[in-house]
Amino acid sequence: MKIAVVGATGLVGSVMLEELAQRGFADQEIIPAASPKSVGRQIDFAGRKITVVSPEEAIAQKPAYALFSAGASTSRKYAPLFAQVGCTVVDNSSCWRMHDNVPLVVPEINMDSVGPDQRIIANPNCSTIQMVLALSRLHWQYKIKRLVIATYQSITGTGIKAVRQLEAEEDYFAHHDVLSSTLGDTMRQQLGDQYQPAYPYQIFRNLFPHGGDFNPDGYTTEEQKLVDETRKILGDPTIQVTATVARVPVVGGHSEAVNIEFHKEYDLDEVRRLIAQTPGVILADDPDHNLYPMPIMAHNRPEVFVGRVRRDNTQPHTLNLWCVGDNLRKGAATNAVQILQSLIAR
């Protein structure tokens, strides 16, 4: 079987290769594809070297499947071309997610939305995946009316450039006991050309309520994804969703505080049972022993961790919980490979 990975040298693409090697595809023919600057580069896969090719070369080899994580513009251009040669594309960008004829899939929830002739399948946004997985059985049992979400998102969601920014700032501030609301010319000059920040502000010892681009209504594109994608995956356009996204100096994963209003009353013990029984979810909720989900707990793990499950005492039918997941694993690469596994099994 030939499987292409488009964007193979990027942060998510490299994790896709790890997931393929770990999930039974180590002996398959993997075709890594990337931008021209990476073509010809040798990368490691399952103990052997494979050579990066261009997307055009990957298409010419007619792979059965292609995993994309190379940005929306690349997906818009190349995904249909892969589909034309009979390849099934699982795309991790935002390009196809809200197209009516493209399923948006978390395998544990809605794999049945993928038809037998579907050639492009969308992988949801990282913050959406972990939340809807944690909430899916609660929605089926009690029907969600409204969600109020605050996210605390890892810099890895922005990519390798953000990771390098944090590392450079950590090194800089180890020798300069100064904090600034802006990056500043002095800091740029001292760090040199290797400092190419991904954010308009320092992220070290800082956080900011900004993920994605700002829309005219004041919400960001990251916040709007939580609205649109949640409704599509859970199959309920009536769910009311409002969100605030914050970027935090963490590499282990995204954290989310979620307030859930249901249409009917719930039993708290049953809520805990439903969460614990959800495939791919681990209930980590023991306040007496300081057990609750943290990014350090989720780092490099495929599961979503849920804790701080408690009743909202200010209004009826309402619940609070905290969920954490590695945004590069279940939030991106793991989910894509699980879709691939489900397609092959089916």
Active site residues: 126, 254
Which ranges in the chain belong to alpha helices (H)? 11-22, 55-60, 72-84, 107-110, 126-142, 160-173, 185-191, 221-234, 268-277, 295-298, 334-345
Residues 153/280, Cβ–Cβ less than 8 Å: no
Residues 257/322, Cβ–Cβ less than 8 Å: yes
Residues 82/89, Cβ–Cβ less than 8 Å: yes
Return the half-sphere exposure (C-beta side, CA atoms, 13 A cut-off) of residue 343.
Answer: 26
Which has the closest alpha carbon to 88: 114, 65, 57, 113? Answer: 65
Q: Indicate the helix (H) or strand (E) that contains 260.
A: strand 254-262
- Give helix then strand counts, H and E, for the chain: 11, 13
Rounded to whole angstroms, what are the CA distances from 143 to 91, 123, 139, 234, 323?
A: 29, 24, 4, 10, 19
- Region for residue 158 given its phi and psi (left: phi exceeds 0; alpha: psi -120 to 50; beta: otherwise): alpha
What is d(CA 317, CA 56) in angstroms, rounded to the nearest whole number?
Answer: 53
Helix, strand or coil, per DSSP, at residue 106: coil
Residues 108/279, Cβ–Cβ less than 8 Å: yes
Which has the closest alpha carbon to 78: 160, 153, 4? Answer: 4
Residues 156/162, Cβ–Cβ less than 8 Å: yes
